[in-house]
Structure 1
């Protein structure tokens, strides 16, 4: 008896029952496979989380902290420090010691420092070479003035300018980025005789009385007269800015732009040309 003949002799209601049960079994198998996948991912997530939580071993042992408690520092801050010195957390971490790339809180818990002094100091903490150089200098002279000579400032200026291209061969040392921008603006205005200055929106250039005018962030800017003659222009943001995407593609500037390339290179694709033809301000032959 052939397989086809067997099928023709089976009642139709039996086929319907078997098909229904087959659908149920398939659905259950899918559910079980999903449950197994979820359990597998949960186990992997737990193992990954435990792996992330465990940092590499470190043989450094921080000194036992004996200073004021976290709550005491919070009270002292409220009473004696300006409220303008903001923190990033509702209950900030109290740090008391650092070693290389790690920081330690009052209880001796270790943290990996990926903030580096607001991304401005990438030398780590208590690096042995930096400590050695600092102690060596402090044992000789703590501070001086520019009206005298000191070998370190001249040697450092020579090493620094040797890494710069011509004609950048002159240094003017300052104490901070705000002071550097303040001096740069002053020198530019004195040299050109022009007071007008353009800055990008969303930029931070300092919080001194002068550089605050250059800063274009609401969290670091106050309505202060230093902003006179300073003009804020839009930031060329290709992701969220108003001039990206379709606005950039349909710009008349794109049609008038020339491209200096060798023959056969920098060729526009057919898709690009089709998009250009759809632009309302461009005439294509």
Structure 2
């Protein structure tokens, strides 16, 4: 959970010197490639806009009446008949799961100590080199593939904004390079992919391959417009306070999917469960 809240290469001269027959074969292959890409893109669908939404990353339960879109953890099952978004913690290890990554893939400070997101007790993953990004993306990619195989329509990689809490050890370029790997993996699995929070990088959403946004507390922090500027109405808002919900609904209630949940995103009957809408 968040701490706050292909370019085609020009052919070489040698390639351009192919025979007419070879050129025909190449043209046919290119045509087939374009059709394949188009077909793949056609499999990717975005969440309906301004729809009833429920955020269930703290535990799955029967969605309330009127819900059309739901986010659940990648270990949970999607809901038949709804648009399902699959949550994965992509930039940080789950609490207590450091050993599942290996020390070389955890971020270390100058003293060799593992760097944590203190708000959630999650070790940050080291995405500062291409090799490490590829290794981490390979593991997260297995979760993304599972999301697709289980019937989800989209994936929500959390903690894109880890770099803002990493004391300069990770930068925005690292985060964007890594999210591009995840976007490629998601699209290859015919899943849409969400940008999670991180308003400062919303303007790069197309270059990063991101299809829609899931935003925590943009009402509270007056950031909803930053996301609609980049994503239009393809923005899902989660607020954690009555005042945040009020502001989000006042500004965007006729356009966006908006829900208030309790901060621990609990299930009904927990005692702290909250779910409200505009």
Is the shorter-chain TM-score for this pair beyond 0.5, marking a shared fold? no
The structure with more helix, counted as a fraction of residues: 1
Higher relative contact order (CA closer than 8 Å, sequence separation 6+): 2
Larger Rg: 1
Q: Name the TM-score, length of structure 1 as normaliser.
A: 0.22
The structure with more strand, counted as a fraction of residues: 2
Q: Name the TM-score, length of structure 2 as normaliser.
A: 0.23
